[in-house]
Amino acid sequence: MTANAFREDKEAALASGMKGHLAKPVDINLLYKMIFNAL
């Protein structure tokens, strides 16, 4: 989770090996979906 919500920030996070990107304000349903997919 990050406050960096620009497209470039998301691309940089994914390029560095992160498996997802969730910016603030948090959409709780998206958060749950991402956690479920990671398990």
Sorted by sequence, the CB contacts under 8 Å of residue 32 that are 6+ apart come out as: none
Torsion angle of the four alpha carbons 16, 2, 36, 28, in this order, in degrees rounded to the nearest 10: -160
> How does pLDDT run along the chain (39 residues), one tens digit per residue?
667 788 898 899 899 998 888 888 899 999 999 999 989
Look at the chain and report how many structural domains it folds into: 1
Q: What is the pTM of this model?
A: 0.62
20: in domain:
yes
Give the per-residue pLDDT at 1.
61
Residue 29 lies in a domain: yes
Per-residue pLDDT, 2: 64
Residue 2 inside a domain? The answer is no
According to the model, what pLDDT value does residue 10 have? 87
